[in-house]
Amino acid sequence: MSEQESPQEVDFNIEVNAQYLKDLSFESPGAPLSLIQQEMPKIALDVNVNVQKFEEGNFEVTLNVTATAKNESDNVLFLVSVAYAGLFDISSIPEEMQKNILVVYCPSLLFPYARAIISDAVREGGFPPLLLKPIDFSKLYNVDDNSQTVN
């Protein structure tokens, strides 16, 4: 009798070599009047991912998140923008899988940190913390493949 062959499991390893804040901007053009408004602001969110090859098998993935809050009169209450990045070693990942890892998996690891920075910046600006919902980067990637750039 021969042994049943089981599919071989391949172990892919993704190493996060560094995570860092590249850029943070907070603007509150209407302060202090904007701080006393009682109405709920309309929040517009813009998210994109940039990937830059650092060295062989290593990539810098930058998650750019911009949130703009406007009142009913369409005046900007605040604008916060964060570029949060990570340096990822994906040398053990097959090349055909790398783009998906870089624009879906890696930003998913970075997002909680960017979200916390945004929440803190908005709170420090005198507004209630902005609590962003989790983002499905696979859906974002499938809907708008052009918003991610891999160099």
The answer to whether residue 43 is domain-embedded is no
The answer to whether residue 100 is domain-embedded is yes
pLDDT, tens digit, for every residue of 38-57? 788 999 999 999 999 988 88
pLDDT band at 130, cuts 50/70/90? very high
pLDDT band at 30, cuts 50/70/90? confident
- Average pLDDT across the chain, whole number: 88
The answer to whether residue 6 is domain-embedded is no
Instruction: With beta carbons less than 8 A apart as the criterion, state whether 113 and 69 touch.
Output: no
The answer to whether residue 10 is domain-embedded is no
Report the CATH number that the domain containing residue 130 is assigned in CATH.
3.10.420.10
The pLDDT of 97-102, averaged and rounded, is 92
Helix ranges (H only) for 1-151 are 95-100, 106-124, 137-143
Residue 13, pLDDT score: 87
Residue 118, pLDDT score: 98
The answer to whether residue 117 is domain-embedded is yes
The answer to whether residue 122 is domain-embedded is yes
The answer to whether residue 69 is domain-embedded is yes
The answer to whether residue 109 is domain-embedded is yes
Q: In angstroms, what CA-CA distances link 75 with 14, 41, 53, 112, 131?
A: 43, 10, 39, 28, 21
Q: How many domains in the chain?
A: 1
- Boundaries of domain holding 102: 15-36+59-145
Residue 1, pLDDT score: 46
